[in-house]
Structure 1
Amino acid sequence: MAFGISDELLGTFVPIAVYWLYSGLYILLDGFDKYRLHTRAEEAEKNVVSRSSVVKGVLLQQAVQVIVSLLLFMVVKDDTAVAPKQPSILVIATQFAVAMFVMDTWQYFMHRYMHINKFLYKHIHSKHHSLIVPYAFGALYNHPAEGLILDTIGGVLSFLISGMTPRTSIFFFSFATIKTVDDHCGLWLPGNILHVFFRNNSAYHDVHHQLYGNKYNFSQPFFTTWDKILGTHMPYSLENRKEGGFEAKPIKRD
């Protein structure tokens, strides 16, 4: 507990603050055209929703996320009002790994089904794909139903199945938030440490947002495992664009 604020409240609101702060860093880098995966002209032409609408959509989803999170913590909270003791680093690392696996698995299959089911894609998931050229603070721009099913319920399952404490969840969901924002940032920055550890990155997810790739690269936010196992992995090559910046070009599948 910090400054009299419970771990449950921190676990609810810190990831939201992280979302906007980390997105803000990418806004500061918006002028770095030499690192963009799409030109500004492409963004203006292909994206059919305004940035102000994206902000409103994300805030709505985060409001739903707050309500579900607070209800969850009310259910699992210990009535003794004593914060549970933190386990060893090894146990926490194991809980992180389990939570990452659960989140990846849930999001892969729910995400893929939203593409397979024409009704769900047309009326729900297509809202997220209105950002053909993704950018950082649009990472959670979804239909409220998708935000609830894909992100919020996925987070609840990760928390419950891994057995992590509310304090551990502050760090896990903050990290998951950073990873999600990074995957949608639309930039390929040199020295990005997340690219060292994860093949599921901004270029990988950018392929999925393009018309040629929307039946591939469903995995998010951590690993590409399920795509590779189930044959939905689309490899790509990162090439310099003559106008400046980079382009993730799909490699023909055998």
Structure 2
Amino acid sequence: MSNSTAAGGIPPLPSYILSPLPPLIAPIPDKFLTLIFPVVAYWALSLFFHFLDVNDYLPQYRLHTPTELLKRNHVSKRDVIQDVLIQQFIQTVIGILLGMTEPEDVIGKENYDVAVWATRIRTGQRLVPGLLSLVGLNAAGIASNVARSYPILSGFLSGGNYPWLTNAISLSSGDVEIVPAFAAWEVIAAKAIYWVLVPALQFSLAVLFMDTWQYFLHRAMHSNLWLYRTFHSRHHRLYVPYAFGALYNHPFEGFLLDTMGASIAFKFAGLTTRQGMWFFTCSTIKTVDDHCGYALPWDPLQHLTGNNAAYHDIHHQSWGIKANFSQPFFTFWDRILGTTWTGDVSGKYERSRKSAQRAADREVSGTPDVNEPTNGIYDGDSSHQIGITSAKSPLGGLKENLKPSISTSRQSAELREDSESGGPRILADETEDEKEQRIAPRRSPRKKSGNPTPSDVGSLKGLRERVNGSLHGRSGGVLGLESSR
């Protein structure tokens, strides 16, 4: 295709030949990479944070202690992974269908498109004299005065008149024709618009749409009791979020909130297949990072936006469940509509840590408590209960089991309570534990003295030293939670 005519001093548009865009990673087509990259990113980043969890690395940056991971969650790792895989299967199927509606990506037209933007810039300069006249300036006179020293500025003030800028082109007949040419600054500006500004605007529109879609649907899931009980309560079985639980949802909620939201954002912003590849992957990485359970000072994702792991973790607590609905990128809807958590959180997090620790201590010592679930680690199978005082060391249990400590006999009832209320049972347990803590020194002098009996040393000392080291080695300030407003 060609366009070699020039009118009104406008340079002609160049010819171009289209060809298929080579795949980013040959021989896999970009449409398949768009489906593969988000899944790979999800599990790669999740395994990194899981590695930190099971080895108790960087404990000073953890939002919750290992004991809280064991005691407060109401779902097993196996069930979490199963639901995530189901959602990723649905996501892949929708991605395949979406890819069938997309045209093939081609190359060869880039210079033509840059020239189109340069033409728009040249045409826009025709407004300059009129605009200057509105403020009492004579554009023609100024242009004449600076013509010798600053010819480009003179041409700009004259309304894009650059008669000395020409280019020779060959015609199909073999003749050579002299035509107008673009100024260097026009070409640079056109390239910046085409390669930077337009893609940035597209990504911004996609992010704006996705944040809007997820905020209002997410808030509706909490405002409507039926929606919460039927769908969203499943995600809130994770009172202590961890990375690979980011997409742990009811399949329909996952389809509606994440898959459909991202798909419509992709179409709404007019992204290409390759742009969509990065948009879907970045969205996935951001979602995993928001559920990672770490406030890492060197994690750029936790500083680019206030919607980070510490911010979203508040929403997973029983006391913060009606706030911080924004996800996955920014928090502007929470700020605009007044749903940002504004209270102090350090004391609440400290009570949760102590509550989980006391429950673990009772579990190790065998002290019964009607307010706590039966001691044991639930692994998703009613026929398997692994007590912390088993042949495994307490430390090994903390490292290897990110599973909720919950009685099989009470699991169904507790999950029903969660689905109905979104967390009051946990809140009641923690409140009860706070009361118990105030009277514990009078009724349990042995615990106050810190001298366990010989029979307790093998199982209790290692657990307490390990977990209390993480618990008492940091303050709320380390987590950066007091300022979560």
Query: What's the TM-score once normalised by structure 2's chain length?
Result: 0.49
Change (3 A) 1:116 1:250: farther
Once residues 101 and 181 of structure 1 are traced to their aligned partners in structure 2, the CA distance between those partners, rounded to angstroms, is: 19
Once residues 60 and 116 of structure 1 are traced to their aligned partners in structure 2, the CA distance between those partners, rounded to angstroms, is: 26
**Residue 97 (structure 1) aligns with:** 204
Structure 1 or 2, whichever has the larger Rg, is 2
User: Is residue 108 of structure 1 aligned with residue 337 of structure 2?
Assistant: no
Amino acid at match of 2:71: E
Q: Find the partner of 2:262 among 133, 144, 155.
A: 155
8 Å CA contact 2:202, 2:269 repeated in 1: yes
8 Å CA contact 2:240, 2:313 repeated in 1: yes
RMSD of the alignment, in Å?
Answer: 2.2
**Residue 447 (structure 2) aligns with:** none
Superposition pairs for residues 63-142 of structure 1, below 5 Å?
63-75=89-101, 77-78=102-103, 81-83=104-106, 88-142=195-249
Once residues 89 and 141 of structure 1 are traced to their aligned partners in structure 2, the CA distance between those partners, rounded to angstroms, is: 35
Q: What SS class does the counterpart of residue 313 from structure 2 fall into?
A: helix
Q: What SS class does the counterpart of residue 212 from structure 1 fall into?
A: coil
Change (3 A) 1:13 1:245: farther
Q: What SS class does the counterpart of residue 90 from structure 2 fall into?
A: helix
Q: Find the partner of 1:54 among 80, 83, 89.
A: 80
**Residue 198 (structure 1) aligns with:** 305
**Deviation string for 1:40-78 (max 9, x for gaps)?**
111211101111111111000000000011111112x22
8 Å CA contact 1:38, 1:246 repeated in 2: no
8 Å CA contact 2:247, 2:254 repeated in 1: yes
**Deviation string for 1:153-187 (max 9, x for gaps)?**
10011100010101011111111111110000011
**Residue 6 (structure 1) aligns with:** 29
**Residue 228 (structure 1) aligns with:** 335
**Residue 175 (structure 1) aligns with:** 282
8 Å CA contact 1:182, 1:201 repeated in 2: yes
Amino acid at match of 1:124: F
**Residue 128 (structure 2) aligns with:** none
Once residues 106 and 87 of structure 2 are traced to their aligned partners in structure 1, the CA distance between those partners, rounded to angstroms, is: 28
**Residue 219 (structure 1) aligns with:** 326
8 Å CA contact 1:234, 1:250 repeated in 2: no
Amino acid at match of 1:17: V
User: Is residue 243 of structure 1 aligned with residue 472 of structure 2?
Assistant: yes
8 Å CA contact 2:72, 2:239 repeated in 1: yes
**Residue 61 (structure 2) aligns with:** 35
8 Å CA contact 1:198, 1:223 repeated in 2: yes
User: Is residue 22 of structure 1 aligned with residue 42 of structure 2?
Assistant: no
**Deviation string for 1:69-100 (max 9, x for gaps)?**
1111112x22xx45467862221111111111
8 Å CA contact 1:133, 1:206 repeated in 2: yes
Change (3 A) 1:58 1:245: farther
8 Å CA contact 1:95, 1:164 repeated in 2: yes
Aligned length: 250
Once residues 48 and 174 of structure 1 are traced to their aligned partners in structure 2, the CA distance between those partners, rounded to angstroms, is: 29
8 Å CA contact 1:35, 1:246 repeated in 2: no
8 Å CA contact 1:188, 1:246 repeated in 2: no
Unpaired segments ≥5 residues, structure 2 = 1-22, 111-193, 351-470
8 Å CA contact 1:38, 1:245 repeated in 2: no
Change (3 A) 1:252 1:191: closer
Once residues 14 and 212 of structure 1 are traced to their aligned partners in structure 2, the CA distance between those partners, rounded to angstroms, is: 36
Change (3 A) 1:40 1:233: same
